A and B are shown apart, each in its own frame.
Chain A
Amino acid sequence: MKNTYVIATNVVSPLGFNTEDNFEHIQSQKSGLSFQEFDFTNEPFCVSKMQENVINQRFKVLGDFKDEYSKLEKMCILSVADALKQTKHNCLGKDSVLIFCSTKGNIDLLENIVQNQSFDTGLFLAETAQKIAEFLGFENKPIVVSNACVSGTQGILVGKRFIDAGIYNNVVVLGGDLVTKFTVSGFKAFNALSAEPCQPFDDNRKGVNLGEGAATVILSNKSNENKEQIIVKAGFSSNDATHISAPSRTGQGLLKAIQKISEVSDLEDIDFVSAHGTATRYNDDMESQALARADLNFVPIHSLKGYFGHTLGAAGVLESVMGIASLQHNQTIISKGFEVSGTVQNLNPIKSVEHKPLRSFLKTSSGFGGCNAAVLFSKINL
C-alpha cells in the first residue's frame, strides 16, 4: 500500500488562524478558554469561543460577502483556504475531495427555526459542506462524516482509505463545530461540564469545557517537496457495544482500535499519545484502562482540551494538526491542567515542553454512541 502524506494543515481557533500561531500559543501555555455567560444559568461557564468580528475581519480579505456565510462556514473556509495555500498540488480537481467532519454544523439556526416555524436548509450538513466546497472551488461534491466526537479522527481515517483504495488522490479533511446553547445545555444536563478550566487526567477533574474551531489536514498520495514527511501510517475504529452515553469501563472498544493498529504497525516506539482526554471522570478512566491494556500507559500523553476545549467534530482534526506540529517542531506539548494523577490506571501526562527528536504519535478519540477511533502518524525521510 502506498503512503498517505500529510501535505498541509491549519487550525482556526481563538488562539490563531493558522497552525503556527496556534502551536506557538499553546507552547507558551496560552488557552482559548474563558468564562462566558449563558442565559439559562446564573453560573458562568468556561468555553473556548471565537469572536465573530475577528473572524469577519479575516473573512473580508477573501471578498465582500456580508451575511451570506454563517460563522461556522467562515471559520471553515478560512481554515481550508489557508491549508490550500501551503501546497503546490491541485487539491480542487476531479481527483480530489473535501470531507467535512462535524457533529452539529449550523445547529444555532435551529433556535430561529423553532421560533418562526419556517425551515432553513442551512441546517443540513450536506448543504453547509456544499457551500464551503463551492466557495473554495472544489470540482467534486463534498463528503460529510458525522460520528459524534470521533468525527474528525474518523474523517482522517476515511480520507486515508479513499487514497488507499485509489478513489481520490488528494483528500482535504476539514473539521468544524461551534459552541452553542444547544450543546452547552445538553452537556450540562449530563452533568458533564466543568465551570472552571478543565483538568484532563487529574485527580480533581470535574468535567469537560466545550470549544469551537475549524481545522484542516490535506492528505495526498504524493508527497510535497520537503525531505521530512508526515504520513498517516495506520488507523482503525471500533464500537464499545456497551452503552450509548457512557464509555466502556474496561476501555474495550478503544483497546480494539489500538490493537488493530499494532497488528499492522509497531506501537512500541511511539513518542506520545494525543488522547481524547475530555476531563470527565469516566472518559479519562476509560482511556487509562485501554492504554494500560495496550501497554501504552507509560508513554507520554497529552490532552489538548485545556487549550481548545472540546471542539466536538473538529477535535480529531484539530488535535491531530497540533500533534503533527509537535513532530515537525520536535517539541512535546504539555497536557494542560494536569497536576495530580487521578485515573484508574496511572498515565504519564506531559508536564514540560521538551525539545527532542519526535518520530510518531497515536491520536485517539472516543464519543457518544460507543465509538472509538485511533490513528498513527509517523515521520519519514525521503
Chain B
Amino acid sequence: MKTSIQHICHISQQTISLDGKVVFHLENQVESNEFLNESYRFLQIDYPKFFKMDILAKLAFIATELICKSLIIKDINKDEVGIVFGNKSSSLMADLTHQRSIQDKNAHFPSPAVFVYTLPNIMMGEMCIRHGFSNENTLFISEEFDAEILAKYTNHLLNERIVEHCMGGWVDAQPGNYEAFLYFVGTGKSAFWGEHTAENILGLKQKSAEEIAENFQKTAFESEPISSEY
C-alpha cells in the first residue's frame, strides 16, 4: 500500500512554516517559551490549557493545530490517528525545572504541574486530548532525526491498518534551541508532498529548514519584521 505525506509544518528559529509557506515569524529574539506564546496569540487559538504546557507540548500543539486546520479531508476518523515521533533530549527542559525545585533539600518545592511534563510522551497526550486521537503513541529517542526508523515503523502501522492516519515528526527542545517538524501521513498516492518514505521526509525536513534559515537571514538583513508588531 502506498502511504503519502499530506501536510508538513516546521517550527524553528522563531519561524513557523506550514506546507512550505512562512505563517509566522518573530524578529526580536525572545525566549523559546515567549515565542511560542506569541505564536499562539497570533494564530488566534482558543485553548487556555496551552499556557500550562512545557516547551515540547507547546511545539507539538501549535504544529498539530496548523496541520489539522488545513486538512483537505475533513472526515478523518480521529480515533484511528496514531502518533509516531522522534526526539533527542527527552523532556530535558522540564527535567531541569523539576531538578531546580528539588536541588536544595532545604528549599524543596516540587510541583506536580511541572513533574508531569518530565515525560516526553506527554506532548502526544496533549495532542490526543485536543484532537481526540486515541490510537497508538510511540516516541523514539535518537541522537538525530532517524527518518529510517520513523518511516518504516509508521508505514507498518498504516499497512497493517493498525492506524488509519499518522502524525509523524521530530520535536526537540534544549536550552536556547528548539525544533518541531511534523507531517501528516495517510494512505493513497495522491498527496502534495509525495510518498511517505525515509528519503522524502528527510529531504523535506532539510529543505524546509533551509527555507526557514533563508527567511531568517533575509529578514535579519532587511530588518523588516513580518509580524513582530503583534
Contacts and interface: CB of A to CB of B under 8 A. Distances in A.
The 9 A-B pairs with the shortest beta carbon distances in the complex, nearest first, are A369-B125, A186-B115, A144-B141, A241-B128, A189-B110, A239-B128, A165-B156, A40-B108, A39-B105
Interface in A176-193: 181-182, 185-190
B160 A181 contact: no
Contacts of B132: 241
B122 A369 contact: yes
Contact of B156 (A107, A161, A187, A239): A161
B95 A369 contact: no
Interface residues of A, number: 56
Contacts, number: 151
Contacts of A105: 90
B140 A190 contact: no
Given A110-B95, A114-B103, A146-B120, A126 B128 contact: no
Interface of B: 87-90, 92, 95-96, 98-100, 102-103, 105, 108, 110-112, 115-116, 118-122, 124-126, 128-129, 132-143, 149, 152-153, 156-157, 159-160, 162
Interface stretch (A242-250, A296-304, A330-338): A242-250
Contact of B121 (A148, A167, A190): A148
Contacts of A189: 110-112, 115
Given A40-B108, A371-B124, 17 more contacts: A110-B95, A126-B142, A143-B149, A144-B141, A144-B142, A146-B121, A146-B141, A182-B99, A182-B102, A186-B118, A190-B112, A238-B134, A239-B133, A239-B134, A368-B122, A370-B125, A371-B137
B119 A241 contact: no
Given A126-B141, A167-B152, A185-B108, A110 B99 contact: yes
A244 B141 contact: no
B81 to A, nearest CB: 10
A154 interface: yes
A40 B105 contact: yes
B137 A124 contact: no
A244 B89 contact: no
A147 B95 contact: no
A145 interface: yes
B133 A145 contact: no
A111 B108 contact: no
Nearest to A191: B112
Given A114-B96, A369-B121, A238 B136 contact: yes
Nearest to A368: B119
A115 B134 CA distance: 40
A105 to B, nearest CB: 8
Nearest to B57: A244
Nearest to B89: A124
A367 B116 CA distance: 11
